[in-house]
Amino acid sequence: MKRVPLETLLGYERSRLHRAALKLTHVGEQTVPVLTVVIACYFHLPSLDAFRPLRHTGLSYANDELPNVLHFSVAPQELRMLLAAAHRVCSASAIPGGVPSLAFAAVADAPDGPEGDESILSLQQAGELYRHLESALSPENGTGRAVLEMQRDAGYPRCGGVVSP
């Protein structure tokens, strides 16, 4: 897999975004498993294996191995809005004084093979990401809001309002 920044994926034409997907995996400490979330266009649902080459060493991706995954679909233009929202948070993906908490990955098919990137976020940055993603969702996408809320509430219940909208 070729690593490309989110900014590159954001510049893709709508037709290339038909075969793109996003993944949120809780990689921080946890007392119970936190289901992974995959967001994909209506036209394509990739296997979690598509994201495997982007993994950072030294982090636990055990939640990706759970038998269930949360998923919702979006139109290509909504996926672009979600990518833009994630780019605003992930472009400053240094973890200032924090520990890894959430992995945000994006993949897309390209003529020369799959491309993508993964950002590792602290608890604070994860809270920002959830807020930005929820704001970028279409107002009619109740399923998407519910799925993001399920993962957010399972993985970040003690964040003292950092994650809550």
pLDDT in tens, 37-75: 999 998 788 889 999 999 999 999 999 999 999 999 999
Give the pLDDT score at 95.
63
Give the pLDDT score at 110.
82
**pLDDT at 99 > cutoff 90:** no
**pLDDT at 79 > cutoff 60:** yes
Query: Sorting pLDDT into bands at 50, 70 and 90, what band is 146?
Result: very high
163 contacts 130 by C-beta, under 8 angstroms: yes
**pLDDT at 18 > cutoff 50:** yes
Closest by alpha carbon to 121, among 59, 39, 48, 38? 59
Give the pLDDT score at 93.
58
Compute CA distances 14 → 17, 56, 106, 156, whole Å.
5, 29, 15, 33
Query: Sorting pLDDT into bands at 50, 70 and 90, what band is 155?
Result: confident
**pLDDT at 162 > cutoff 60:** no
Torsion from C-alpha of 72, 133, 20, 114, nearest 10 degrees: -130
**pLDDT at 130 > cutoff 90:** yes
Look over the chain and give the mean of its residue pLDDT values, rounded to a whole number.
87
The percentage of residues in the chain with a pLDDT greater than 70, rounded to a whole number, is 90
**pLDDT at 35 > cutoff 70:** yes
Q: Which residue has the tokens 């266009």?
A: 41
Structure tokens that stand for 116 in this block:
């993508």
